[in-house]
Amino acid sequence: MGMDVTFIGFGALEIGRDWGLGDADEKRRPDDEAAGEVLRAVLDLGITLVDTASAYHRSEERIGRTIADRRAEYVLASKCGEHSDEPRTFYDFTYDGISASIDRSLRLLQTDVIDLMQIHFGPDPAGVLDRGETVAAMKDAQRAGKVRFLGASIDGALATRCIESGDFDVMQLGYSLVAQGNTDNIRLAQSNGIGVLIRSGLAAGALTARVIPHLHEEVRHVDKIRKLLDLVGGDGDALTALALNFLYENDGISSVLVGSKRAEHVRANLDLLERPVDPEVMAQATEIGRG
């Protein structure tokens, strides 16, 4: 990939935009002070990748205000194509729209260069690739020294197309113990020397203890999650340890983006990655997830 990053990276969605499991209060983003505490804690814990996006509302601005003075400590990734118009977002994949978005991200992030700029696809991803304006604008930004590497956040057949195009240095793929659909894309990216960042590696919180009070709600993959919880005796932390170690065992994965509104959750995930997992239990869990 050309970038050295820690296996656990920080996904900065929740510090800028309402998100997550639960009611409105649980989903609400932290205030400026609390978001800053999380970002500083992430770097203090030694995490070296911070991933954000224009569409994450206050996220880029908060990163710039809080940790721009520690810019040498982290690889900075952002996205373009989906843009913030709080409380909504909108899509603009034109050459001018992408160029303006990259310049705006540079200003908000208070940096001279963004290490990784990724396409944040919308409702017509194939059309975005066919028209080519987005990639052209990103490549021109790269030539101008505003961006170091190019990436795409997409899944399935279009991810395969991006990998095979030769246009991208990094792919951001949705992948987890309960959603293993991008297995072949991870393998293909690795064989092409392309880095892989994982989003939704904890299934948007569904592979953590936070899911337990919400199992009666419309949680994705709920049947698999119930089976996995049975496998670990209802221990939510053991569930997370399984989910993280499942990803860690895949040597095609460069980094897993884990987001949180609380520094203690980030710290706990680092600890759970170190928790030993019985290989037999992991094999059973992988089979449950695959099913």
Residue 51 in contact with residue 44, Cβ under 8 Å?
no
Nearby residues of 120 by Cβ (< 8 Å), 6 or more positions away: 53, 54, 55, 79, 80, 81, 82, 153
What is the structure's pLDDT at 238? 97
pLDDT tens figures, 117-164: 999 999 999 999 999 999 999 999 999 999 999 999 999 999 999 999
What is the structure's pLDDT at 249? 97
The pTM assigned to this predicted structure is 0.95
Instruction: Please give the C-alpha separations between residue 220 and each of 167, 203, 225, 233, 285, in angstroms, as whole numbers.
Output: 32, 8, 9, 21, 17
- For the chain, the structural domain boundaries read 8-204+243-274
What is the structure's pLDDT at 21? 77
Q: From first to last of the 291 residues of the chain, give the pLDDT tens digit.
A: 567 899 999 999 999 998 887 889 888 999 999 999 999 999 999 999 999 999 999 999 999 999 999 999 999 999 999 999 999 999 999 999 999 999 999 999 999 999 999 999 999 999 999 999 999 999 999 999 999 999 999 999 999 999 999 999 999 999 999 999 999 999 999 999 999 999 999 998 999 999 999 888 888 899 999 999 999 999 999 999 999 999 999 999 999 999 999 989 999 999 999 999 999 999 999 999 998
8-204+243-274: CATH architecture: Alpha-Beta Barrel (3.20)
Nearby residues of 216 by Cβ (< 8 Å), 6 or more positions away: none
What is the structure's pLDDT at 127? 98
